[in-house]
Structures are given as C-alpha cells and as structure tokens.
Structure 1
Amino acid sequence: MCVAALYDIHGNLPALEAVLQDVRQADVDQIVVGGDVVPGPMPRETLRRLLDLKLPTHFIYGNGELAILAQMAAARTGSVNYWGTTSGARPPESIVEVYRWTAAKLEPEFEPVLARWPKTLKLEIDGLGQVVFCHSTPRNETEVFTRLTAEDRLVPIFEGLHTPVVVCGHTHMQFDRMIGKTRVLNAGSVGMPFWRVRRALALTWT
C-alpha cells in the first residue's frame, strides 16, 4: 500500500495539482490531508478538488480550518474566537482579514464538511506499522517544533502514544527525527514550503 501525506496546502491549487501529478505517478493507494487546506488564495477550488478525488482520502483539521470555522460561526452569531481555539488570542489584523476573506469565499455547504474532520487519524501502513497523523502534535494543532527543538521538551508529548510513527506538519518544514522511541516525520507544505528550494512538498510511503 502506498500512502501520500499532503499537508498545509493553504488554498494553493496550482501547487496541489503539481503534487497530485506526482501522486498519480507514484501509484498511491490512499491520501491523508493533514490540515490547513485553508486559508489561502483559492480556498473553494482547492477544497472541491480534494473532496472530488477518486482515491480514498482522509482529512484531519489544522489551525487554519478552526480559524475559518470560527469566522463562519461569527458571521451568524457576532461572537468571534479568532483562532478557533480555547486561547481566543487575537492575531494581527492582517491575519484576521485573511480569515474573514477566506470564510466569505466558502459556501455554507463547506462548514459542516470542515467541522467533521477529526483532530488525529491512525492508519496501519505496511513497513511502518500504526501511524498517527496530526497537524502539529496530537495534543495541540498550533504547537511549534522543528528538527532542532530539544528532545527533552518533546518526549512528554509523544511518549504516551505507544505508536512507532507520527506524521505532522504545521511548520511547513520537512524533517525526519526520533523523539524518544517515536519516529516523527514532518510532511512539509504543499502550498507554502519554507525551504531553500521553493517546491511543493509531500510524503509518500510504499
């Protein structure tokens, strides 16, 4: 079985199409979309493209989806939780405006679709065993860590999972590192890669 992990697309439909071409060439059996499909410049078109895929496709939410859902709810209720998280912290106005614009571009039919996406996903993958997919960490969709983050800070986050592999995203930077006994793979970003070579990134396993 070949699985592709597509993270942090951010409404970048041309980048998604480039990655989907690679997916077809790799003879992928399943796709995991790891959150932050939105916000971005083509949110409606990007979501429709993913929802119309013929391959089995699994979705989890990221902080982007939570923020857009919060804005969509605000349009109905007038009460705003800007990040869509319990913190309720207000981001810079420029970011809030991106959220508002994205939410306005999405038809109401997308709201229940995004609201159904889970926080994490577990799959059995040949050669890897049970793999946990999350947007950032299994406990928090906005937690930031990189390949350079001290291991002693990260071990408590992953040690209770009892799974050999975790796939994450959020930072838009690919890496592959051990944290305690857990192999943690960052899938990078399809739509906004923070990389020396500016290219759409995804992970695949065969």
Structure 2
Amino acid sequence: MWRELRKIGAAPVSTGVWTVPDTPHFSSAVQKVVELAAFGSGEILVLPTPGAGDHEADPLRYVFRAQRLDEWQEFSGDCAFFEVLDRLASLGKRVLLVRGNAERELVSLARGESIDIPDDVTPWAAGQRSPAHIALLAGLEHPVTIDIKDFGSVLFCHGTPRSDEEVVLVDSSLERWADVFSELPEQIRTVVCGHTHMPFIRLVDRRLVINPGSVGMPYG
C-alpha cells in the first residue's frame, strides 16, 4: 500500500496518514490503494479537506519537498545496493539470503521481461549489474526454512510463505492468517516475514510471527 502511495507522490503527514491533491488522477490511484487494503483485510478511510488556503497548504508543501529529498536519498542508497550484496555474499553460510519481490522484479527486467513495477529505480538498476549479480539474485529461494536452536524449524519469507508480495498485517484477522498459513507444515511454529516494512511480533494460532520491519525505510 505504501508503495502505491509513494508511486503517485502521496506525502505522509503522520503515522498512517497520507495526503494527495484532490484530482481525478489521484482519486483513481487512491481507490486502488483502498482495494489493496481490503484485499489484505485492512481498511483505509479517505477524507476530503476542501477550502484549504495558503496558510494551511504551506505545511503540506514542506512535507512534499521533504519527501522528494527522502526519495533522492533512497535512490542514492539503491545505487550502492550491489556493493552491499557483494559484501553479504562474501560472508558465505553466515548469511541467509531470501528472495523478495524487488529481487525477482530486478532479475526479470535484466532478462528483458516486461513487468509492471512502481518505480523507475529498478529498471535502471537492472541495466547496471553484471551477469554474476543477476545469477546470484536469480538463485535466491523463497521461502527458506532452517532449524534454529530452541525454535525448531523456522520459515523465512518476504511477504508470506506462498508469495513474496502478499500483504498481512499485525491486525489482520485470524481468518486471514489461517488462509495465509493453510499450506504450512505443522512442525513450523515460527515464521519471519517482511514486505510491509512495518515491524511487529504476534502469535497466530500458537505460531510465533515476527516482522523485523526495514533497516533503510521503516514504516508504521
């Protein structure tokens, strides 16, 4: 959801609150975000704020400019992505790499496939990398299960065990979680997930679920 909001230029004004101009273009984009939230058993409330003058608009202009600066810093960080990848790969078995949707999309673009992505950074990055980098990313697995002392079999995934881009939240319903874990072997009692950039720890029908959030772009 936050990806879609950032894609259209929406500006975050506080935790869980975003602002966009009231135009047909933004209205259709916001509707798409509402539908995505509903699919993930979430809910979004859209509130119009008509009649704002310059005094009320100045803080929003500041937020938009600050967001553009944040995007530039994020872009600069993405430029160093493969240096980080090289460092992680050099650590061998001391590091567990799990494929996410961004890695999958980058590999697809590098191989000349046509896909729908929410930003311009990934196509640029796909054209900058060596065949060795692409081969490394293409070889990443999702999900990955390993045995950890005192935890038993622990499953690591990006979105959910069955998809690297499926969204579940800390407050998603138990019915939603049951569906997400419907194909999970009974012996797996701990799941580490990501994708939303929103950290949480919770129990789901006697399973421990951990989302560590995001190092570079935490949200929520």
State the TM-score, normalizing by the size of structure 2: 0.60
Q: State the match for 2:96 in structure 1.
A: 58
Contact 1:129–1:164, Cα closer than 8 Å, also in 2: yes
Alignment of 1:171-186 (within 5 A): 171-186=196-211
Sort the Cα spacing of 1:63 and 1:54 in 2 relative to 1 into closer, same or farther, 3 A: closer
Partners of 1:66 and 1:98 in 2: CA distance: 14
Structure 1 residue runs of 4 or more that deviate by more than 6 Å after TM superposition? none
SS in 2 for 1:155: helix
Q: Secondary structure at 2:88's aligned position in 1?
A: helix
Distance between the aligned counterparts of 2:153 and 2:160, measured in 1? 16
Gaps in structure 2 of 5+ consecutive residues: 1-76
RMSD value, Cα = 1.8
How far residue 159 of structure 1 moved from its aligned partner, in angstroms, is 4.0
Of 116-125 and 186-195, deviating more is 186-195
Q: SS where residue 58 of structure 1 aligns?
A: coil
Residue 118 of structure 1 deviates from its aligned partner by 0.7
Letter in 1 for 2:193: C
Residue 155 of structure 2 aligns to a residue in which SS? strand
Matched, 1:193 2:193: no
Q: Which structure has more RCO (C-alpha within 8 Å, separation ≥ 6)?
A: 1
1:160 shift after superposition: 3.5
Residue 49 of structure 1 corresponds to 87
Shift of 1:48: 1.0
Cα distance in 1, alignment partners of residues 162 and 183 from structure 2: 11
Computing the radius of gyration from Cα coordinates, the structure with the larger value is 2
Matched length: 142
Letter of the structure 1 residue corresponding to residue 100 of structure 2: G
The letter of the residue matching 1:148 is D
Report the alpha carbon displacement of residue 120 of structure 1 after superposing the two structures with TM. Answer: 1.2
Q: 1:156 is matched with which residue: 179, 191, 195?
A: 179
More helix by share: 2
Instruction: Report what 2:191 is aligned to.
Output: 166
